[in-house]
Structure 1
Amino acid sequence: MTLALGAALAALPTVAHAQTLADRFSGAANSDDKAPMNVDADKVTYNDRDHTVVATGDVQIYYKKKTLEADRVTYYRDSGRVLAEGSVKLTDADGSVTHADRMELSGDFKRGFVDAARSDSGGEKDRTHMTATRTERLDEETTVFEKGAYTACESCADHPERAPVWRLRAQKIIHKNSEQTLYYENATFDLFGVPIAWLPYLSTPDPSVLNKSGFLAPRLSYKDTNGFGFGQPYFYTISPDMDVTVTPYYYTNQGFRGDFEFRHRLDNGFYTLNLIGVHEDNPDVYGVGSRVNRGMIVSQGAIWLNQNWKFGWDVVRATDKYFNNDYQVGNNTLNGNFFRENSSTAYITGQGDRGYLDLRGYSFQGLANSDLQPQLAAVWPILDYNKMISLDPANTWGIGGEIEIDVNFTRSSAGLASYQQIGSYQFDVQYGMYAVCRNPSTMTALYTKQNCLLRGIGGEYDSGTLQVSWKRKYIDPLGEVWTPFTFARANLNYLNANVNGAAVFSRTYADPATATGYTTITDPIANTYQTNFVSHNDQFGGYITPGAGLEWRYPLLSKTPIGEMVIEPIAQIIARPNGQPTTSMVNLDAQSLVFDDTNLFEWNKYSGYDRFETGVRANYGAQFTYDMHEYGYASALVGQSVQVAGINSYATPDAANIGLSSGLDKPVSDYVTRLTYAPSSNYSFITKARFDQADWALRRLDLSARANYGPLAFAVNYANYAAQPIIGYNERREGLGLSTRYNMLANYYVMGDITWDLGRHNYNGVQYLVGYNSTGQALFQNAPAAPLFAIATWGAGIGYQDECVKLGLSYRDSITDGYGYPPTYARNKAVVFNLELRTLGDIKAPLSLTPTVVQDGTRTNGASYYYNP
């Protein structure tokens, strides 16, 4: 006898026996249930004496989308029970899997006992695990796990005996299927195998649930003015597409705070509403006169009206500009400290075939120390329309090419004009925060074009611009690319400047030389000074500027043994009329002028619509690219711009002096360069620079480098900008930033960063008037001295991250912008602990380590500051 023959003979009755076993199992199920049961096994044995049917050898039973697999399955005909033994695996209809050495079930798999079970559910990326010494399935509704443990972490492949990174252990875990909830009795939370928390009772959604009502992880915080803070969010599911989160907070120093968040997902979009409110027990810690009831509102939404049109909003507003900082809401990074604002917008946008329309409005609430709210403009509406139209030469008498239509209309209004001193910044004498213009020697107000800039209008300014342009690209037989173009630009604007209204700051000093014994210095910021900068008011202005030009490029390709090299000389000339004088022109949206490689070949290098180039200008340069395949990629550019004829608009400043000191304000511009090299995807280097055309002196430099070397990531950023006193930057600005991250072992990492302000020491000599001596002589005090390598911010952190947990501890130390008179520079120091557990939630605890400084005296002494619109 051979094994092959024996196997074949044994296989003949197997099908019949398996079918009989299936019939017997099906009979044990609900008689009303017509679902078939399929059974596969290597061998089936009937025992009429014991009334059992035994299937052995790779047993697989399929029933109602459930699968039972085992080495041996015994069916007890009298009781209808099923006993599975040896490598038992039960897969439920929802995909969850239970492993055990021994499992006892009812014939329909709805009830049963499992010894030493392990249950797995979810897919490969969201898998969870449940273990228990004994599991009892009471019915399809309830399963009880005795001495159970739940985790979303995978076991260590090399050391499966080790505890998972985290787990919830309990004396009893009850799973309610219809409620989709796990109930824990006498629970302990373990982290890295160490018990860190005990809870007598706990409930969590089961892993299959995305949204379920219940308590979320608590919120913890500390700040000296607020004390310790504890918040307990409660999440309530209104419907599958709508939910609410309510979070009552309690601060040991300030009492109760309430947070409310509502979210609604629509078929064609979403919207949210967040409300925060606090009734302070001790408002005086934030300064005498601080309000008691404070809070903020945040709302976002986006609704697709159809496939092309979308309506949306992003609104945030606080009761006062200090709320975000006082209650640690929003951005607390270095950039957030220096450039902070609550920005609100509402919009409707449409996107079509090579065109778009965007209509929106903005409102800003300043949060920085130097922000004076009446100076911040509300901008509504802003209308932008752009359309590209291709012309078929066959239908346009051979013209062809492409037409672009660009439209903009902007209305801006503010209660108070915004000024900035030319040269060294001057701040109000009361708080040393708000920009004023004065004669430093006499400490008297001086708002003229010679010593002051008008940054923003107090009043209303409307501006509409229409530009139509045409261009077509030609390639000659030599490969030269010729692009002729023509355009016409029309602007109509209306200025209604408010000549009334002022903010006044004052400071009184003891002065024995006066009859009263005191001297009061006053710093006004008045709208009436605007007349010194703008030539017209309450009337229309505008311009029409046609122009034409030609661009030439000649890309030269060369193949080398390691790649392809392209050298491309570029030349461009643009002719326009001189246009109107600009010295008294309002400029609100074109103040960000940086001459570099990105705008060298732009027809208009201004950043907005309020300014436009004039005269005849030529731009030329060359760019180089080298694709070295496995050796990386390199590119470079160098170029220059020349005012060939007519008036150089960059040398004729507006009310904000934009154009001066830009490198374009002379007949032959500075040189602009760019160099990029990336030897691989793990390394990159880019630098941009501007050099003086006369002596190649460095005027502007931006450098960044990034490297990933195995587990180590490193980045460097450096900036160096020459002084530009004529536009308000009296000293060189310079900064250096380093950041790194090192991935230790498999899941552990450390990281750190530091940013140096290398230009702060340039202000060490600035003096502030602090009083008078007995003879009436003014007394000055220097600004706080700063070292060459003044640290603006630095931080460090350590953490652990894998498929089920993110654990981090970080420290941050950042300098604040100045406050007081003379200004004081405090440091914000904070520790943030963050623990995120997949399927359970996250805990984030920001802890402030430094006393909170009242950074704005205007809320502590209203008599020294008033705003009269």
Structure 2
Amino acid sequence: MLRRNTNLPRSKSGSLLAFAALPFFVFSGGLLPAQVSAAAPSAAPQSAQNEGQNPVDFTADTLVFNEREQIVTATGNVEFIQNEKIVRAQKVTYNLTTEVVKGIGEVTFLEPDGNVYFAKDIEFTKDLADGFAREFRAVLVDGSRFNAETGKRVDANELIMTKASYTPCEPCKKNPEKSPPWQIKAREVVHNAEEKTITYDDATFEAFGVPVAYTPYFSHPDGTEDRKSGFLAPGFSFSSQLGAGVETSYYIDIAPDLDATVGANVYTEQLPLLLGQVRKRFEKAEVEVNGGVTYSDRRLDDGGVTEEARGHLFSQGLWNIDEKWRAGFQTELVSDDQYARQYDITSEDVLDNYIYAERFSGRDYAAIRSLYFQDIRVRERETDQPTILPEIEALFMGDADSFLGGRFSGGFTALGLNKSETGEDSFRVTGDVGWKSRYILPIGLINSVELSARGDSYYTPDRDGVEGQSAYRFYPYAHWETKMPFARDFEDVQAVITPQVALTVAPDIDNENASIPNDDSRDLQIDTSNIFEPNRFPGYDRVEDNSRITYGLRTGLYDRNTNEIEVFLGQSYRFKEDADLFADGSGLEEQKSDYVGEIKASYQDNLSLNYRFQFSGDDFEPIRHEVDSLVAGGPFSLSSTYLYAESLDETDVVDTREQLKTYLTTELSEQWSVTTGAIYDFAEENDGFRRASLGVTYNHQCYTLGATLQKNYTRKRVGESSTEFFVRLGLKNIGEFEG
């Protein structure tokens, strides 16, 4: 029963119990209004509220005022509630003379977000800026726990805990006192609410109760903001080329729109790799710059080794000028073709560098750009990568059904190519207009008609005493495509058969004009994605002239659960033979093209198959096979990619390629998984493994531990094969330590 003594004096800032409740909310991050009316005596919970303030509800078995000592005491199941925040204690006292508030006996504070704080007793003095708690504990909403011998709040900003520990691991259900999988113990832990950091003095990292690492000082963000200056989690690795390595980096939060990261990768077999990153945001733009520099060994073509300065510079930027215009750039530069893979900078074969500006307006598009490519494939190259200075493009598209049931379109391009190695520079200007319509007949026949005309102009400047040349080309065509789907429903599936035919009419074009170089149309290869295109060359430099017919058949079975199996087979036939137009291996070098097709199948999440093929149009000999598959069932998941492709003239693909990639993941339990992978080449001259790897991962509620062993079998120009070992340790709420 709540009992209140008579003639109770009021505190300076409101009712006694409301003021007594305030320290608990301040200690745990909450805040009560200073002015709250006193509650009347009652056996039920009471509400206190001043005009404009939130109410404070409280209950207690007794409420007593000692007039001689000027102490107000609430005892027995004391509870305060405000804004869904709850404070409970067995006893609360407030000394009006010293203005000290004490909570005694299993003090508990519950926040609306689920965080819970505990203390054996707690005390605040004067203006509530300072406080002290004994046997302090905290259980956060994510399960993380703090335990401390004492907790002290200073200036309402810092919470200082002594002999404290932190862990995000859930306690053992059978033995809650058992040491967690990992925790950080420290002589002192300080949480600075203003700087939003947690710092540890004399910190020891424990694994299963065993100390494994010590640091005199450790700090990390408290998780309440995304960015905070400090050391990032280190990484560890081993490579047969670089030796054992450790990656250290420091993040610098310079301003809300600017930050930087500096660091170094230190190796036992090579000098350190110094790294840096800067990121800047503007009102309508953003820029990021990454770079690295070192002085290390590089293998020469003759097998020798030289030591030299090496590095990389990567950057990118984007400027959203207005609703229609934007501009940007990207740089990807490395010192040599071995550096990027040796230091795991990128796995790309050709690095793209460009600057551009582009405009979007409805269906229209315009752009101007310049490009530079750095080829870092570690082998002899057949292609001289050009520099594009510049490329201009404008595309226009009219409204649908604006003329004869179709829409007009137009385009303009201009291109300048510079080849530093061969000096074969060229300039090109093109313009085209077209009309396209799509309609469906009442019987279900789907038709599309396209009319197009394009003019090209080329100029090749003087080179090696040869006078510059100009060339012009006019390329019109008409293209009609029709298909008729036939569907039949069965009990559980629907069967669909769709024959498809296309007729393309075009004049005879002189594609052997020496004044027209071929820079963007070399890698033509027929497949299911381009067989019905009116011009199957991927670029502008070559056009597919003369007339032809293309035909194919697509059939499939589909059920209501999105399971399906689909098959396509197609071929094209040119009315006039032109053996010199297409490269050998393209599938179009004969009057009758190769057969191309695709088989796709999927069943729930357990089976996925995509088989793409090309067979000779004469004798059905295999030219190309590409198979992507995924089989998953129970604890196993196997993904595979198989490629077989014969050589393609006029490209870097000068040898027959045959390669198999496989990855197998086995879930041994909810925590344990094993991953194996391999890349195997079947090519006659370079048959054998290219890469093999084995990885083991353990996932726990509060940490992840993984290890991967990888063997790289490299070609002679890179040097010796390499062995790498990676370890990844992820600690909940702290970060990942990997290499």
Q: Residues of 2 paired with 1:330 and 1:707: CA distance?
A: 32
Report the residue type matching 2:417 in the other structure: S
- Tell me the residue number matched to 1:603: 534
Alpha-carbon shift at residue 184 of structure 1 (Å): 1.1
Q: Pairwise mapping of residues 97-176 of structure 1 onto structure 2 (< 5 A)?
A: 97-100=115-118, 102-106=120-124, 110-121=129-140, 128-155=144-171, 161-176=177-192
Q: Pairwise mapping of residues 792-831 of structure 1 onto structure 2 (< 5 A)?
A: 792-801=690-699, 805-819=703-717, 826-831=720-725
8 Å contact 1:403–1:471 — kept in the other structure?
yes
Alpha-carbon shift at residue 193 of structure 1 (Å): 4.9
- Tell me the residue number matched to 2:27: none
1:272 aligns with 2:196: no
Structure with bigger helix share is: 1
Q: Pairwise mapping of residues 761-840 of structure 1 onto structure 2 (< 5 A)?
A: 761=684, 763=685, 790-801=688-699, 805-819=703-717, 826-840=720-734
Alpha-carbon shift at residue 469 of structure 1 (Å): 2.0
Alpha-carbon shift at residue 252 of structure 1 (Å): 5.2
Q: Residues of 2 paired with 1:717 and 1:157: CA distance?
A: 45
8 Å contact 2:607–2:631 — kept in the other structure?
yes
Q: Residues of 2 paired with 1:720 and 1:319: CA distance?
A: 33
1:401 aligns with 2:406: yes
Residues 55-93 of structure 1 deviation map (CA, whole Å, 9 limit, x = unaligned) = 65582333xx7934226452334454141644712439x
Q: Residues of 2 paired with 1:58 and 1:406: CA distance?
A: 79
**Residues 370-379 or 665-674, more deviating:** 370-379
Aligned counterpart for 2:92 among listed residues 66, 70, 74: 74
8 Å contact 2:236–2:727 — kept in the other structure?
no
Residues 668-715 of structure 1 deviation map (CA, whole Å, 9 limit, x = unaligned) = 222211111111133211111122223322221111111232332211
- Tell me the residue number matched to 1:330: 345
Q: Pairwise mapping of residues 443-482 of structure 1 onto structure 2 (< 5 A)?
A: 458-482=423-447
- Tell me the residue number matched to 1:47: 64
- Secondary structure of 1:609's partner? coil
8 Å contact 1:22–1:39 — kept in the other structure?
no
- Tell me the residue number matched to 1:639: 570
Residues 357-393 of structure 1 deviation map (CA, whole Å, 9 limit, x = unaligned) = 3332222223233357993321232333333322445
Q: Pairwise mapping of residues 116-515 of structure 1 onto structure 2 (< 5 A)?
A: 116-121=135-140, 128-155=144-171, 161-191=177-207, 193-220=209-236, 229-248=245-264, 250-251=266-267, 255=271, 257-279=273-295, 290=306, 292-326=308-342, 328-331=343-346, 336=347, 340-370=349-379, 375-393=384-402, 396=403, 399-417=404-422, 458-496=423-461, 498-499=463-464
Q: Residues of 2 paired with 1:373 and 1:181: CA distance?
A: 56
Residues 139-168 of structure 1 deviation map (CA, whole Å, 9 limit, x = unaligned) = 412212222122344556677555444322
- Secondary structure of 2:16's partner? helix
**Residues 672-681 or 403-412, more deviating:** 403-412
Report the residue type matching 2:406 in the other structure: G
Q: Residues of 1 paired with 2:108 and 2:471: CA distance?
A: 86
- Secondary structure of 2:15's partner? helix
- TM-score scaled by length of structure 2: 0.85
- Tell me the residue number matched to 1:554: 484
Shift of the 636–289 alpha-carbon distance from structure 1 to 2, 3 Å rule, reads closer
- Tell me the residue number matched to 1:521: none
Q: Residues of 2 paired with 1:266 and 1:610: CA distance?
A: 40
- Secondary structure of 2:378's partner? coil
- Tell me the residue number matched to 1:88: 108
Report the residue type matching 1:629 in the other structure: R
8 Å contact 2:381–2:652 — kept in the other structure?
no
Shift of the 158–294 alpha-carbon distance from structure 1 to 2, 3 Å rule, reads same
Q: Residues of 1 paired with 2:130 and 2:34: CA distance?
A: 16
- Indicate the structure whose relative CO is greater, using CA pairs within 8 Å and at least 6 residues apart: 1
Report the residue type matching 1:548 in the other structure: A
Q: Residues of 2 paired with 1:405 and 1:154: CA distance?
A: 65
Report the residue type matching 2:731 in the other structure: L
Alpha-carbon shift at residue 317 of structure 1 (Å): 1.9
Report the residue type matching 1:837 in the other structure: L
- Tell me the residue number matched to 1:854: none
- Secondary structure of 1:660's partner? coil
8 Å contact 2:107–2:121 — kept in the other structure?
no
Q: Residues of 2 paired with 1:482 and 1:283: CA distance?
A: 59
- Secondary structure of 2:340's partner? helix
Q: Residues of 1 paired with 2:529 and 2:643: CA distance?
A: 17
8 Å contact 2:503–2:548 — kept in the other structure?
yes
Alpha-carbon shift at residue 215 of structure 1 (Å): 2.4
- Tell me the residue number matched to 1:757: 681
Q: Residues of 1 paired with 2:711 and 2:239: CA distance?
A: 15
Residues 501-544 of structure 1 deviation map (CA, whole Å, 9 limit, x = unaligned) = xxxxxxxxxxxxxxxxxxxxxxxxxxxxxxxxxxx962121311
Residues 148-203 of structure 1 deviation map (CA, whole Å, 9 limit, x = unaligned) = 12234455667755544432221221222223222212211134554321112222
- Secondary structure of 1:390's partner? coil
Q: Residues of 1 paired with 2:173 and 2:408: CA distance?
A: 63
Report the residue type matching 2:64 in the other structure: N
Shift of the 567–250 alpha-carbon distance from structure 1 to 2, 3 Å rule, reads closer
Q: Residues of 1 paired with 2:383 and 2:489: CA distance?
A: 61
8 Å contact 2:61–2:78 — kept in the other structure?
no
- Segments of structure 2 that go 5 or more residues without pairing to the other structure are 24-31, 37-52
**Residues 735-744 or 721-730, more deviating:** 721-730
Q: Residues of 2 paired with 1:603 and 1:640: CA distance?
A: 14
Shift of the 697–283 alpha-carbon distance from structure 1 to 2, 3 Å rule, reads closer
Residues 299-347 of structure 1 deviation map (CA, whole Å, 9 limit, x = unaligned) = 1222211233322222122344443345x1413xxxx3xx634332222
8 Å contact 1:748–1:799 — kept in the other structure?
yes
- Secondary structure of 1:667's partner? coil
Q: Residues of 1 paired with 2:637 and 2:555: CA distance?
A: 29
Shift of the 818–620 alpha-carbon distance from structure 1 to 2, 3 Å rule, reads same
Shift of the 724–252 alpha-carbon distance from structure 1 to 2, 3 Å rule, reads closer
Report the residue type matching 2:639 in the other structure: A
Report the residue type matching 2:729 in the other structure: L
Shift of the 154–410 alpha-carbon distance from structure 1 to 2, 3 Å rule, reads farther
- Tell me the residue number matched to 1:712: 636
Shift of the 805–383 alpha-carbon distance from structure 1 to 2, 3 Å rule, reads farther
- Tell me the residue number matched to 1:769: none
> How many aligned residue pairs are there?
701
Residues 797-824 of structure 1 deviation map (CA, whole Å, 9 limit, x = unaligned) = 11234565443211211222333xxxx9
Q: Pairwise mapping of residues 512-591 of structure 1 onto structure 2 (< 5 A)?
A: 538-582=468-512, 584=514, 585-591=516-522
Q: Residues of 2 paired with 1:833 and 1:41: CA distance?
A: 54
**Residues 402-411 or 245-254, more deviating:** 245-254
Residues 436-473 of structure 1 deviation map (CA, whole Å, 9 limit, x = unaligned) = xxxxxxxxxxxxxxxxxxxxxx3312223323221112
Shift of the 652–484 alpha-carbon distance from structure 1 to 2, 3 Å rule, reads same
8 Å contact 1:411–1:461 — kept in the other structure?
yes
- Secondary structure of 1:809's partner? strand
Report the residue type matching 2:56 in the other structure: V
- Segments of structure 1 that go 5 or more residues without pairing to the other structure are 1-9, 418-457, 501-535, 764-785, 846-869
8 Å contact 2:406–2:438 — kept in the other structure?
yes
Aligned counterpart for 1:652 among listed residues 568, 577, 580: 580
- Secondary structure of 1:324's partner? helix
CA-based RMSD: 3.6
- Secondary structure of 2:518's partner? coil
Q: Residues of 2 paired with 1:113 and 1:373: CA distance?
A: 76
- TM-score scaled by length of structure 1: 0.73
Shift of the 114–679 alpha-carbon distance from structure 1 to 2, 3 Å rule, reads same
